[in-house]
Amino acid sequence: MGAVNVTATDAVFDYYAYRGKDKIFEQKINSRKAYRNPVLAGFYPDPSICRKGDTYYLVNSTFSYYPGIPLFTSKDMVSWVQTGNVLDRPSQLMLDKQAIRDGIYAPAISYNERNDTFYLVTTLINGFGNFVVKTKDPAKGWSDPILLPEIGGIDPSLFFDDDGKAYIVNCSAPDGKAEYDGHSAIWIHEYDLTTDRILGKGKVLVNKGSNPSKKPVWIEGPHLYKRDGQYLLMCAEGGTETNHSEVIFHADKVMGPYIPSSKNPILTQRDLPEDRENKITCTGHADIITDHRGQTWAVFLGCRPYNTDKFNTGRETFMLPVKWEDAVPVILPQSEAVPVVVQKKGGGKQNFTGNLLWRDEFDAPVIGLEWLMIRTPQSSWYSIGQGKLSIRPVEQNISEKPNPAFLGRRQQHAAFEVETSLVFTPDNERQLAGIACFQNEKYHIVFGLTLQNNKPILKVISTNDGVSTVNGTVELPVANNGHSIKLRIEGNGATYSFYASYQKDKWIPVAENVNAEILSTQIAGGFTGTVIGLYATGNQ
């Protein structure tokens, strides 16, 4: 999306600053000897990992945000750097009618040494379903989607066998009628690497789950590995909320039969006391990798509630060393809590966790890789450069499709601060510009400058299940028109407070202790975390 000619009605932002302030990150660590969990804080769910040589690649799902599927690289699986987005052009990702909770579900990244090619398989929900993209060099971008209509369901993952054959495992409806809600199955299809086509019919490898007599639900997120001649099928089970877990099956032949391990679940937090410190919940949907030193690691999703169960930060990426017990990869012994600090030699600076300070002065000619838009941009509504970001107040507002004028960044902490400086002269009472805290179309909080009775006014508006209420307003002196005004949000778990400053460092409250539980997954539903960003609309 190219530069747009800045007009008088554009909202012009000078910077965006974000600071994390979570208690669990106050503990000092020596990053050369240990790392923090989560390794990617904020909504980075369904992690998948692969390696080529001593370089590691990690991806996450992004639903209906654009660009899609962030790509991280590192040499130590700790100091991740975002080096791209796998789906970063409309020909790869056309999100226009999808709700924010739909779009791109769990991705799986893999590297095939035999043809020196990287593959990524994923699902576009309410679109063309399962597809593959591939590349010889992730830094140079990925192919357009290769559709896989033969494969239904979600969570596809590629496996390259040592006889040169390849297979895709995924989860889908059982073969025949589902016997109960959540009854699903793991399927396998052979994949032709020369034609990128599916060969033959699919086969069920696991029906129901690790212990069918217990009617397990939502067996999903499968990955297939081979170790010492054994095929290992690892899956998530229990659903992605507090009942989440990871289970493992083994077989002598790729087509099974797959036997569940007696050590299952190899990861869960569901049996631990509710009142434990630094509570991590919902752990599961893992992928494992053996590093170039022979140590095996697991990445998986988990959540950090700020009270009993609510979190606004979505499902995050965690990492733990794996212990092999009798050829079974145990991620965490049962009834052990996920540690927030893990010993690991040779780690580096962690860029996506800890109480980080992140600031964008908009000096770069293009917008940074971390910025997210809601669905695929349909027109040019922003421009960046010379230290300014200009956003056009387009007709869409943040609850409307296809593409509101919003550029956001993941909320990565329960306690945080966001600040910006804005120059905006609204033409009419429907125009507003400022900061939006967005969970989804029906659950968000907007803080901005607009007009009321033809006077400039600051407003905080919460939308809870689609119903909007004004939490606070402050009239601005008319003389301020055309001058910059600073906006700041202080988040503290279940409440956010909103401040403004148009006189040097004098901050005035616009609305304090506003209910922010409406931005939690528990209240708003869905699979994403809160995204906080710069926003302008002509239709508030």
The footprint of ligand 6LW (CB under 6 A) covers 45-46, 61, 105-106, 154-155, 220-221, 236, 239-240, 285, 527
- Separation of alpha carbons 480 and 501, rounded Å: 11
Nearest approach in angstroms of CB 233 to ligand 6LW is: 15
Q: Which is nearer to ligand 6LW, 166 or 171 (CB)?
A: 171
Q: How far is the CB of 527 from ligand 6LW (least distance, A)?
A: 4
Gap between the Cα atoms of 233 and 149, Å rounded: 23
Whole-angstrom CA distances from 452 to 427, 431, 457, 474 are: 11, 10, 6, 11
- Quick check: is 220 catalytic? yes
Q: Is the distance from CB of 495 to CB of 516 less than 8 angstroms?
A: yes
Q: Which is nearer to ligand 6LW, 154 or 280 (CB)?
A: 154
**Closer to ligand 6LW at the Cβ: 282 or 423?**
282
Residues 356, 314: Cα–Cα separation, whole Å? 18
91 C-beta neighbours (distance < 10 Å), count: 8
Nearer to ligand 6LW by Cβ, of 239 and 509: the residue is 239
Nearest to 494 by CA among 241, 310, 303: 310
Task: Give the CA distances from residue 208 to residues 117, 224, 243, 281, 498, in Å, rounded to whole numbers and listed in that order.
Answer: 33, 17, 16, 23, 48
Q: How many CB atoms lie within 10 A of CB 460?
A: 26
Shortest approach of ligand 6LW to residue 184 CB, angstroms? Answer: 10
Q: Which of 46, 237, 441, 490 is catalytic?
A: 46
Q: Which residue, judged by CB position, is nearest to ligand 6LW in the bound state?
A: 240
| 303 vs 367, beta carbon nearer ligand 6LW | 303
**525 burial via Cβ count (<10 Å: 0-12, 13-18, 19+):** middle
Q: Is 46 a catalytic residue?
A: yes
In the complex, the smallest distance separating the C-beta of residue 132 from ligand 6LW, rounded to whole angstroms, is 16
Are residues 142 and 134 in contact, defined by beta-carbon separation less than 8 angstroms? yes
User: Which C-beta is closer to ligand 6LW: that of 125 or that of 341?
Assistant: 125
> Cβ 295 to ligand 6LW, closest distance in Å?
26
Q: How far is CA 4 from CA 66, 106, 435, 537, in A?
A: 19, 34, 21, 16
**Which of 494, 358, 499 lies closest to 434 in space, CA to CA?**
499
Which residue, 51 or 285, has its beta carbon nearer to ligand 6LW?
285
Backbone angles phi, psi at 134, to 5 degrees: -145, 165
Its sign, for the CA torsion 509, 513, 517, 518, is negative
- Tokens 């409440």 found at: 495
Find the shortest distance in angstroms from Cβ 526 to ligand 6LW. 9
Cα angle 230-231-236, degrees, rounded to a multiple of 5: 135
Q: Please identify which of the residues 22, 155, 220, 441 carries the catalytic annotation.
A: 220
Residue closer to ligand 6LW, measured from CB, 47 or 305: 47
- Non-local (6+) Cβ contacts of 287 within 8 A are 47, 48, 49, 108, 223, 234, 298, 299, 300
Count of CA atoms in the C-beta half-sphere (13 A) of 506: 3
User: Can you tell me the distance from the alpha carbon of 401 to that of 125, in angstroms, rounded to the nearest whole number?
Assistant: 16
Report, in Å, the least distance between residue 400 CB and ligand 6LW.
24
Beta bridge partners, 159, equal 167
| Shorter beta-carbon distance to ligand 6LW: residue 219 or 510 | 219
In 3D space, the residue among 428, 440, 403, 430 whose CA is nearest the CA of residue 529 turns out to be: 440
Identify which of 219, 241, 370 has the alpha carbon closest to the alpha carbon of residue 315.
241
Q: What contacts 278, CB < 8 A, 6 or more positions away?
A: 24, 304, 337, 340
Closest to ligand 6LW by CB, 74 or 240: 240
- What residues act catalytically? 46, 220
